[in-house]
Amino acid sequence: MKQTKFIHEIRAVKTKKELSNIIRAQRISEQVLRDVLKILKTGISEIEVANFIKKTYISHGVNVLSFPPIVAFGKNTANIHHTPGKSKLKKGDLIMFDFGCTINHYCSDMTRSYFWGQPTQRQKKIYESVFRAMNLAMNKIKKGERRAKMIDKAARDFLNKKYGKKNFQHGLGHGVGTVIHEWPNFKPKSEDILPAGCVMTIEPGLYFQGFGGVRIEDMILITKNGCTNLTNFPKDLKSAILGTI
């Protein structure tokens, strides 16, 4: 019996035009993040940065964002979906930015975490662990794994072993298209199989209440033989250390 394809499965596979909209949205977001990093200073508030992000998008001709920008400083980085508030940036803080925009209704999504000043050993270790988890998942995809739960497992098992099960509290990623969360999904119990041509986020994170958190997120295109990273923004530890001058 021939299996009927569901609408969400058809929608997941992007045409060249759909993909070019997603990539364009991502390139604009990368430019916005470059601009954000230039205005960071001790004493600036989360809400000031969030407003700057919105204004900068408008200057690039973008009026619709994928979701309200997440800007978090210090302990607030432990809140997965933090709403920017009056908290001000201070030396020693972790910083988290998660934002994206839409071009012709197609979304982009990216998260970067930073240190304002030299990180402590604990901060550095957490960052390196999240970075490693991301690479473990990417390598699984590059080797041809298409079962969503096995890709999630590659990152989750590594983080759970090092930090326990309660500090990585969301799926490893999700499909992206005309909505920011689209089928398929990277979750421990997901039965989804990734089709070639779908765009996914890979976004491992570690969160510690009262301390802070780190999340790193890239968008990738699933290909027949592996994947192509659609995100073109540094995420190595060295590039994550800011405000040391």
State pLDDT tens for residues 48-62: 999 999 999 999 999
At residue 44 the predicted structure's pLDDT band, cuts being 50, 70 and 90, is very high
pTM score of the predicted model: 0.95
Where are the domains positioned within the chain? 7-242
- What is the rounded distance in angstroms from the CA atom of residue 141 to the CA atom of residue 232? 18
Helix/strand/coil percent split, the chain, to 5: 35, 25, 40
| H-helix or E-strand spanning residue 64 | none
Q: What is the mean pLDDT of residues 217-239?
A: 96
* pLDDT band with cut points at 50, 70 and 90 for residue 3: low
Nearest to 134, CA basis, from 209, 215, 25, 191: 215
User: Could you report the per-residue pLDDT of 124-164, keeping only the tens digit for each?
Assistant: 999 999 999 999 999 999 999 999 999 999 999 999 999 98
CA distance 181 to 63: 20
The Cβ of residue 215 has, within 10 Å, a number of other Cβ atoms equal to: 23
218-222 β-sheet, strand order: 182-186, 173-175, 199-202, 218-222, 227-229
Q: Looking at this protein, which amino acid is placed at residue 239?
A: S
Position 209 confidence tier, pLDDT thresholds 50, 70, 90: very high
Domain 7-242 indexed as CATH 3.40.50.300: no
- Nearest Cα to 227, choosing from 199, 185, 192? 199
Is the separation of the CB atoms in 72 and 46 below 8 Å? yes
Per-residue confidence at 4, pLDDT binned at 50, 70, 90? Answer: low
